[in-house]
Amino acid sequence: MMEYSLEEVMETVQMTLYHNFDIRTVTLGINLKDCIHSDLDVFKKNVYERVSGYGKKLITEAEKLEDKYGIPIINKRISVTPVALLIEACVEPDAPVEIAKVLDRASKDVGIDFIGGYGALVQKGMTRADERLIDSLPEMLSSTERVCAFLNVASTVSGMNMDAVIRLGKTLKEISSRTENGVGCARFVVFANAPEDNPFMAGAFHGVGEPDFSLNIGISGPGVVRSVVEKNKDCNLTELSEVIKRTTFKITRAGELIGRELAQNLSVPFGIVDISLASTTKVGDSVAGIVEMMGVEKMGAPGSTAALALLIDAVKKGGAMASGNVGGLSGTFIPVSEDSCMNEAVRVGALSIEKLEALTAVCSVGLDMIAIPGDTEATTISAIIADELAIGVVNNKTTGVRLIPVPGKKAGDYVNFGGLLGETYVMNISTFSSHDFILRGGRMPSPVTSMRN
């Protein structure tokens, strides 16, 4: 690795002090397959000891690095082997939720912010264990605080499992009905082409191709990028791309330094740096704010997709130059409720769900943290998910959906989810039906672009 210059160190200090630069998450991936036992009580004990033991060490070592470098590490997280794989041999009907409660308790006891991996890979079909896990999602998300869930229901190679998509509309409505303002849905994401090393929640899981442990870093820095865009108001887009690229290079280098040292201190392999730009509710820490600083009046206006495409391309180029271990999603997030400028764009009518879907062509997770009317039909919710994932399947990229049907709310109503989940206005959803199309079921075939051999 290249050595770090004094100038780089001072620039990082300035980014931290004035532009909300931080390490958004350090996520320790843990293989739990060797914790499986035919006796559920023994299985739960094994899981608790593994998660709490490594979780405690992660917290301790991460806090030491925060003190050493002065760079905040906002979240300390764990991802585990997809739980559907772990419960294959468990005949007890409540095994999925019981495992989730153990994960929740272990995380809470040691101070882990979130634990991901309660999910399944069902892009080509569902096992009995997969179906049990999907059926358990409403109960699990209403009875835990820190466990995050995912389903991968589509991929470019396999197509889209429409039988699974049909179930999701009803599942989301039930999750919503069991949690205040439907907030349980915020801990559940549906994917196409889900990466196995994603450190960001709610979709993080420790994939079957991973080692026993891996330490993955999710950096961020919308505030830093916005500040350099603001300082370069008169340059053309070629020059602006170069400025963003150089800035991302510096951000990624700092993340790489923290990640490698933390992995070494934990005695686990270093995994990847995810260079995704991730918004927060803080003023100035907004991806939409960067687009608007580039010259688009409001996110969602004509030019938004082009501006976002330029932004994320520059971010990827800078990150790839800085690290040989870039992975995860490495795109940009545009979560409506978690991004103050996105939320404002919805309020004034500049941003619609159709425009968000279009933006997904150039970013990672386009339909993210969107509040929709509580009376939206289940098949309409499934159809929105299918539309979004089809973009990922056809374009061989990751796409994801976090929709929140808010009970009792209609388009235009305000809803506050609290804390980092933010606040937003309920978006308008087309009332034209896709009921008959969705209920056809089956599996949408993979596109011809999947045949690459």
Backbone angles phi, psi at 7, to 5 degrees: -60, -40
Residues constituting the chain: 453
Per-residue DSSP letters for 255-306? HHHHHHHHHHHHTS-EEEEE--B---SSTT--HHHHHHHTT-SSTTSTTHHH
State the Cα–Cα distance between residues 90 and 98, nearest whole angstrom. 11
State the Cα–Cα distance between residues 10 and 451, nearest whole angstrom. 49
The DSSP code for 330 is -
Contacts of 407 (CB under 8 A, 6+ apart): 176, 177, 181, 182, 374
Whether residue 406 contacts residue 351, with contact meaning beta carbons closer than 8 Å, is answered with: no
- What residue type is assigned to position 430 of the chain? S
Which H/E stretch holds residue 303?
none
Whether residue 309 contacts residue 362, with contact meaning beta carbons closer than 8 Å, is answered with: yes
Helices (H), 70-127: 83-86, 95-110
SS (H, E, C) 55-72: HHHHHHHHHHHHHHHCCC
State the Cα–Cα distance between residues 31 and 80, nearest whole angstrom. 6
What is the mean pLDDT for each group of 10 consecutive residues in the chain (453 residues)?
Answer: 51 51 89 93 96 97 90 92 93 92 97 96 96 97 96 96 96 95 95 94 93 92 84 92 89 86 95 86 81 94 95 91 86 88 93 93 86 96 96 93 95 90 92 93 85 69
419 torsion bin: left (phi>0), alpha (psi -120 to 50), beta (else): left
pLDDT of 251: 83
Task: Spell out the domains of the chain, with CATH numbers in brackets.
Answer: 22-192 (3.20.70.20), 218-444 (3.20.70.20)
pLDDT of 113: 95
The count of other CB atoms within 10 Å of the CB of residue 354 is: 12
Whether residue 422 contacts residue 343, with contact meaning beta carbons closer than 8 Å, is answered with: yes
State the Cα–Cα distance between residues 80 and 32, nearest whole angstrom. 7
Three-state DSSP at 273 gives strand
